[in-house]
Amino acid sequence: MRQITYKIERSDGAKSFVAAYSFPYQPGKTVLWGLITIKETIDPTLAFTASCRSAICGACAVRVNGQALLACETPLDAMLERFGDTLTIGPIQNFKVIRDIVVDWEAKTKHLTESKTWLIPKDEFNALQGCHQSAADFKQINTQASCILCGSCASECAKLTASDQDFLEPFTYSKVWKLVADTRDKSAPERLKAILDKGLWKCMHCVECVTKCPKGLAPGEDIARLRRLSIKLGYTNSIGAGHAIAFRKDIEDTGRLNEIKLTLRSIGLLGSIAKFPLALRLLRRGKLNPFHFPGKVKGHAQIQAILKAVRESDQK
């Protein structure tokens, strides 16, 4: 009989170990079914969280062969086809592990609390009449409202894995954007100002959050929305904003990037001087040419006309 094996990355909170469990294959099951089968028939000490079994509660996010997903909605057959009959299952990354596949949300909910991810209604609303919103306005934030806080986006976030000291979980940025864009909320400027100091420009563009979200959110795009609005409101005095603006400037000026100008515009003269050892290394290998100034590309007038039309369209 065909056997399926889950190699589970277990932990008692201090010591980690891998335990392999094999059980008979059944067609049409989910990854969660396998975990429940192990707990009910092989090892009752295995700890994991799951509740609704309908991809609504967000409790059952796990990593299968390094990919965060909801165990309850993921067909086991699809995973077996993708990775073979032995799957490695572990807790989602970038969370403190309490035991086995159970992770601690405390630090994450603290970030949500600090970012005030709840509606602060405009003064025109009151408890008696409630906070009304048109269907069209709600549609603008409908996707972000679908977040179930499963943690899949945070699990694979390259920036969080590198360091979680100066960055928030992708879902927190999405929740902040939802409130900034919510026509009932009165705190958009304050929210935006606060999020700038919470790593807004440190996202690495790894697109893991967009890829992993089981509910179709795109936190990376929400981060871009927050960045755009921050620039629009005049928060341009940061390396990240300077870097993005420098791209547009180079495209408008000549059509192509000038690496030296881009560095200067992004991190300034002092920052560029600090990069001198790297620059020297590149110069030696012929990778950097300080005398290379790309001229205007063919059709430069066309690009300028297009970007002018973009600006006019944005103003409308």
Chain contacts with other proteins (rule: CB under 8 A): 65-67, 82-83, 158-159, 162-163, 166-167, 201-208, 210-211, 218, 224, 227-228, 231, 239-241, 243-245, 247-248, 250-251, 255-257, 259, 266-267, 271, 278, 281-282, 285-288, 292, 294, 297-299, 301-303, 305-310, 313-314
Question: Residues in the chain, how many?
Answer: 316
- Which of 20, 309 has the CB closer to other proteins? 309
Nearest to 245 by CA among 236, 256, 255: 236
Shortest distance, position 209 Cβ to other proteins, whole Å: 10
- Which of 83, 125 has the CB closer to other proteins? 83
Shortest distance, position 245 Cβ to other proteins, whole Å: 5
Shortest distance, position 81 Cβ to other proteins, whole Å: 10
Shortest distance, position 64 Cβ to other proteins, whole Å: 9
Please give the full DSSP string across 151-180, using - where no structure is assigned: -HHHHH-HHHHH-SSS---HHHHHHHHHHH
Contact criterion met (CB below 8 Å) for 142 and 216 = no
| Share of the chain residues as helix, strand and coil, in percent rounded to the nearest 5 | 45, 15, 40
Strands 102-104 and 86-90: unpaired
Per-residue burial over 11-25, b if 16 or more Cβ lie within 10 Å, else e, is beeeeeeeeebeeee
Shortest distance, position 109 Cβ to other proteins, whole Å: 24
- Which of 46, 156 has the CB closer to other proteins? 156
Amino acid in the structure at residue 184: R
- Which of 123, 314 has the CB closer to other proteins? 314
Spell out the residues 6+ positions from residue 299 whose beta carbon is closer than 8 angstroms to its own.
255
Per-residue burial over 214-241, b if 16 or more Cβ lie within 10 Å, else e, is bbebbbbbbbbbbbebbbeeebeebebb
- Which of 2, 292 has the CB closer to other proteins? 292
- Give strand ranges (E) for 79-219: 86-90, 96-99, 102-104
- Which of 184, 220 has the CB closer to other proteins? 220
Spell out the residues 6+ positions from residue 199 whose beta carbon is closer than 8 angstroms to its own.
159, 166, 167, 168
- Which of 183, 272 has the CB closer to other proteins? 272
Shortest distance, position 287 Cβ to other proteins, whole Å: 5
- Which of 46, 60 has the CB closer to other proteins? 60
- Residues 172, 37: Cα–Cα separation, whole Å: 34
